[in-house]
């Protein structure tokens, strides 16, 4: 589904402070699979995740999503690709305080100009699936950590993207909630979605639910990639 060919990323290119974040990455990521990037801080895993998700551009190399080359697209087309293909769950969830769960979940639908009632119905169905139906009209600052994570997942899926991107999604959760997250991911994979995440958490990349572990060090794929 996603193919990376000789992808490199430099920051401050051509300057004395030039830094190589990624170097010569070749990688295939399958549909219907859970792929986890692991490695120490500074290994390049978050940069790689951002480039795959069209949030940053590679300095060199090519990226294909379902056969479409995304690495050379103009910004306006990249924005469309992000909205069409990817849903995002961030480490601190980035829910907007003062808005209800339902209002947060509906935010990604605004740029698409669809049918508002259909969007609400779809959001309600997703919240019910995630056990958050009764919390739909609760302000997000009153949610527990696990509830906030599920709200973030519902928001990421509201536009029905085929790929879920998650950056350290269990970093602030206890073991029970981390395992609950894996159960949710298993359900998303069963729906036919690809899930790609970064994690320092051995509970995540050591799980039998993970299809592929991509080990990184110093901007390169490590020998531990499996």
Task: State the residue for tokens 């402070």.
Answer: 17
Torsion sign over Cα 172, 212, 207, 216: negative
How far apart are alpha carbons 10 and 84 in whole angstroms?
Answer: 27
pLDDT computed for residue 33 by the predictor = 92
Mean pLDDT within 109-122? 89
For 59-157, strand residue ranges (E) read: 60-65, 68-69, 86-89
Beta bridge partners of 89: 166
Please write the tens of the pLDDT for every residue from 195-217. Answer: 999 998 888 888 898 999 999 99
Beta bridge partners of 197: 36, 166
Please write the tens of the pLDDT for every residue from 77-100. Answer: 888 888 889 999 987 889 999 999
Cα–Cα distances in angstroms (integers) from residue 100 to residues 17, 148, 220, in the given order: 44, 11, 41
Torsion sign over Cα 26, 32, 38, 41: positive
pLDDT computed for residue 205 by the predictor = 86
Q: Do 143 and 151 contact (CB within 8 A), yes or no?
A: yes
Q: Give the rounded distance of the alpha carbon of 114 from its chain centre.
A: 23
| pTM of the model as a whole | 0.87
Please write the tens of the pLDDT for every residue from 166-191. Answer: 998 888 788 888 888 888 888 999 89
Task: State the residue for tokens 């909630």.
Answer: 177
Beta bridge partners of 164: 87, 195
Mean pLDDT of the chain: 91
Please write the tens of the pLDDT for every residue from 26-79. Answer: 999 998 899 999 999 899 999 999 999 999 999 999 999 999 999 988 888 888
Domains contained in the chain, CATH given: 2-221 (3.40.50.300)
Residue 226 pLDDT > 60, yes or no?
Answer: no
Of 134, 110, 140, 136, nearest to 123 by C-alpha is 136
pLDDT computed for residue 97 by the predictor = 96
How far apart are alpha carbons 165 and 151 in whole angstroms?
Answer: 15
């Amino acid at each position: 589904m996603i193919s990376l060919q000789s992808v490199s990323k430099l920051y401050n290119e051509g300057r004395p402070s030039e830094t190589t974040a990624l170097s010569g990455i070749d990688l295939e990521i399958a549909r219907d699979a859970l792929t986890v990037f692991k490695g120490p801080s500074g290994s390049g895993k978050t940069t790689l995740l951002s480039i795959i998700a069209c949030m940053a551009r590679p300095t060199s190399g090519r990226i294909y999503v379902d056969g479409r080359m995304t690495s050379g697209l103009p910004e306006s087309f990249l924005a469309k690709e992000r909205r069409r293909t990817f849903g995002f769950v961030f480490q601190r969830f980035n829910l907007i305080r003062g808005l209800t769960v339902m209002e947060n979940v509906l935010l990604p639908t605004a740029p698409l100009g669809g049918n508002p009632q259909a969007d609400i119905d779809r959001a309600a169905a997703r919240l019910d699936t995630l056990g958050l139906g009764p919390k739909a009209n609760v302000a997000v600052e009153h949610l527990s950590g696990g509830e906030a994570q599920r709200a973030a997942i519902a928001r990421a899926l509201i536009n029905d993207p085929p790929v879920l991107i998650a950056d350290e999604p269990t970093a602030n959760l206890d073991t029970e909630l981390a395992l609950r997250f894996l159960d949710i991911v298993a359900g998303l994979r069963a729906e036919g979605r690809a899930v790609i995440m970064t994690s320092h958490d051995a509970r995540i990349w050591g799980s039998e639910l993970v299809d592929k572990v991509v080990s990184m060090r110093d901007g390169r794929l490590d020998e531990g990639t499996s």
